[in-house]
Every structure is written in structure tokens, then in C-alpha cells.
Amino acid sequence: MADSKDTQRGNSELVTKEGKTTISNEVVAKIVALATREIAGVHEMGSLGLGDALTGMAQRASKLGQSTQGVNVEVGEREVAVDIKIVVEYGVSIPQLTTAIRRNLATRVNTMTGLAVKEVNIDVTGLYFAEEAKDKPVERPEPRVA
């Protein structure tokens, strides 16, 4: 059982004299993904590479990892470190976009979990052009079963 020293250490609401709350990496990753998508200019999470596209289609078909694609988190007792991959819309200021993402992630994660965001590393993996998307037909994965 945690004593009052544990409650004061880091001022974390996750460890109190009543007990300890553990939040899984997947929960934090989902919060990060949703908070990232809230920012205008983020087209999608992940990248536009062929391997990522095939992985993304498989995940969408199976509903696995759909909400956390492009997100990696490391959760500690009081802090979280975040790595994300994003595709940005053409014309958006990437420095302003990444600043807005970092602020929103820190706010959302801290508000929902009580964890402090130590760092947010952002890998801009692609640029989305709306004109190109209009010309390409939508590819749907073939169903594996009838």
C-alpha cells in the first residue's frame, strides 16, 4: 500500500494512499491519436509508403490498431514520451502545425490521465494533395472470406 510519501512524489494523482491507478500504453496511444487528429492540417496518422498502406488496409479490415496507427508511446509512472508519424495537408505551415499538435497532446493527455508529457517527437512522413486524391480511385482490400 502506498504511503503519503508516494502521493507527494511527483504530485501524481495516479498514486494515492487509497491505491495506484495504472493506465495502459494503448489507452494513452488512443488519446494521443485522437488529440492529433483534432488539429486542422493533419490528413492522417502514419505514412504514405506502400508497406504502411498495406498495413493500414489490413488494420482497417480487421479493425486492429486502426485508432493508434502512427503512434508510439512510452508510459512511466508520472510521464509519457510520444512519437507520432503524420501526413500533412499541402499548404499548412508545418512548424505551426507541430506546435499546435504538441500543445493539444500535452493538454489532452494530462487532463485525461494526470501524466505529464515529457516529449513529443513528430515525423512528417508525407504531404497530401487534394487534387491527386480526386484522380485516384479508392482501393478497397479484397475480403478474405465470402
Q: Mean per-residue pLDDT for 76-94?
A: 95
> What pLDDT sits at residue 54?
53
Confidence at 3, pLDDT banded by 50, 70, 90: very low
C-alpha to C-alpha distance for 29 and 109, rounded to whole angstroms: 9
Residue 138 above 70 pLDDT? no
Domain count, the chain: 1
Question: Does any domain span residue 113?
Answer: yes
Whichever domain contains 120, its CATH number is 3.30.70.1350
- State the helix-helix crossing angle for 94-113 and 25-37, rounded to 10 degrees: 140
Domain range spanning residue 78? 22-47+67-135
Question: Does any domain span residue 61?
Answer: no
Residue 84 grid coordinates: 507520432
Question: Does any domain span residue 98?
Answer: yes
Residue type, 26: E
Question: Does any domain span residue 57?
Answer: no
> What pLDDT sits at residue 5?
37
Question: Does any domain span residue 40?
Answer: yes
